[in-house]
Amino acid sequence: PRLTNQIAAGEVVERPASVTKELLENAIDAGSRRIELDVEQGGARLIKVRDDGVGIGEEDLPLALARHATSKIESLEDLEGVNSLGFRGEALASISSVSRLELISNASDDPRDGWRVVAEGRSMEARVTPAPHPRGTSVSVRDLFFNTPARRKFLRAEKTEFAHVEEAFRRQALSRYDIAWVLRHNQKTVHQLPPGDSPAARERRIASLLGKNFIEHARFIEREAGALRLSGWVGLPTHSRAQADQQYFFVNGRVVRDRLVAHAVRQAYRDVLYNGRHPVFVLYLDLDPDVVDVNVHPTKHEVRFRDGRMVHDFLYSSLHHCLAHTQP
């Protein structure tokens, strides 16, 4: 309890996209090589994630749905250097309280094994029943907000909710090239991304997620300075159709929206006279976890750099250098 009090309790379930994010992060944390996301009616009817990760054993299955049950940290000290995406143990509990959730998992190599547990709103069926499943986990979230009509009413049109779900998927897929990803909406395949870590494979993935246009007008960047390493693609907005929202910045593999980062990027673009154009980029900053604090905000989109000035200057000079040597 002491530990849970010190972990900021955040509102994790806002819309289908936030559920998607949590389920995909769990699948990544489980060490999956392949992750499939199935969505129906923009996620309002179904959000299903199937992975081939470590799975959850029979005894642990009900625990996974209990509030503040996490298998990822064991002490307050762990909070300091946490490198899993989840660590608060409240996502599945929160999601299951506002949906019909089914969890099927198998932690063994025998595909005839596997167990299932269901929860509907506040009530959880105590029984864990056998359900064959290959090693890994399937989580199905049906009828989100079925028991909270006021919140269900806030869901937007199917198209809008799906756009947010797809964006959540995109961010995860751009963070792990070694994982195979699939996204289907209403049984139609929207993205099918084979694994591959080579620059060419990465470019193919970016092209299918962000469009050929982005990668054709992007420049590869790779810079290193001390404990800081920046790599990725900087879009060259040669035309006004560059999309304002194609801005992806990952710090140690986590997608981040950060003011310091945004400022450094904007300033670099401005100073090489890309003024008034939208910077578009997919950038990866890797640094020593001792230098960056990633647990500032419950939704974990913000970071705190111990030496913000140094990070800012490194970003600015790297991008400035890259942009200045490219004609728009």
List contacts with ligand ADP (CB under 6 A): 22, 26-27, 30, 51, 53-56, 64, 69-72, 86-93, 137
If one asks whether residue 91 binds Mg ion (CB under 5 A), the answer comes out as yes
Q: In the beta sheet, which residues pair with residue 167? A: none
Q: Which of 90, 100, 35 is nearest to 64 (CA)?
A: 90
What whole-number distance in Å separates Cα of residue 246 and Cα of residue 77?
Answer: 36
If one asks whether residue 94 binds Mg ion (CB under 5 A), the answer comes out as no
What whole-number distance in Å separates Cα of residue 153 and Cα of residue 139?
Answer: 24
Query: Choosing among ligand ADP, Mg ion, none, which partner's interface includes residue 72 (Cβ < 5 to 8 Å by kind)?
Result: ligand ADP
Is 137 or 231 the residue whose CB approaches Mg ion more closely? 137
What is the sign, positive or negative, of the torsion defined by CA atoms of 276, 253, 68, 61? positive
Query: Choosing among Mg ion, ligand ADP, none, which partner's interface includes residue 48 (Cβ < 5 to 8 Å by kind)?
Result: none
Q: How far is the CB of 239 from ligand ADP (least distance, A)?
A: 41
User: Mind giving me the DSSP string for 189-237?
Assistant: EEEEE----SHHHHHHHHHHHH-HHHHHTEEEEEEEETTEEEEEEEE--
Q: How far is CA 129 from CA 58, 121, 222, 315, in A?
A: 9, 19, 51, 52
Is 57 or 194 the residue whose CB approaches ligand ADP more closely? 57
Is 19 or 311 the residue whose CB approaches ligand ADP more closely? 19
Query: Choosing among Mg ion, ligand ADP, none, which partner's interface includes residue 90 (Cβ < 5 to 8 Å by kind)?
Result: ligand ADP
What whole-number distance in Å separates Cα of residue 226 and Cα of residue 207?
Answer: 31
Q: How far is the CB of 298 from ligand ADP (least distance, A)?
A: 11
Of positions 16, 17, 19, 26, contacts Mg ion by CB under 5 A = 26
Burial (0-12, 13-18, 19+ Cβ within 10 Å), 190? middle
Q: Which stretch binds Mg ion (CB under 5 A): 24-32, 39-47, 119-127, 314-322?
A: 24-32
Q: How far is the CB of 213 from ligand ADP (least distance, A)?
A: 34
Is 99 or 246 the residue whose CB approaches Mg ion more closely? 99
Query: Choosing among Mg ion, ligand ADP, none, which partner's interface includes residue 51 (Cβ < 5 to 8 Å by kind)?
Result: ligand ADP
Q: How far is the CB of 238 from ligand ADP (least distance, A)?
A: 42
Q: Which of 171, 215, 214 is nearest to 191 (CA)?
A: 171
If one asks whether residue 86 binds Mg ion (CB under 5 A), the answer comes out as yes
Phi-psi region of 183 (alpha: psi -120 to 50; beta: other; left: phi over 0): beta
What's the DSSP call for residue 43?
Answer: G
Q: Which stretch binds Mg ion (CB under 5 A): 80-88, 174-182, 227-235, 286-294?
A: 80-88
Q: How far is CA 87 from CA 80, 84, 231, in A?
A: 11, 7, 27
Q: How far is the CB of 217 from Mg ion (least distance, A)?
A: 36
What whole-number distance in Å separates Cα of residue 50 and Cα of residue 84?
Answer: 19
Query: Choosing among Mg ion, ligand ADP, none, which partner's interface includes residue 53 (Cβ < 5 to 8 Å by kind)?
Result: ligand ADP
Contact residues for Mg ion, defined by CB under 5 A: 26, 86, 91
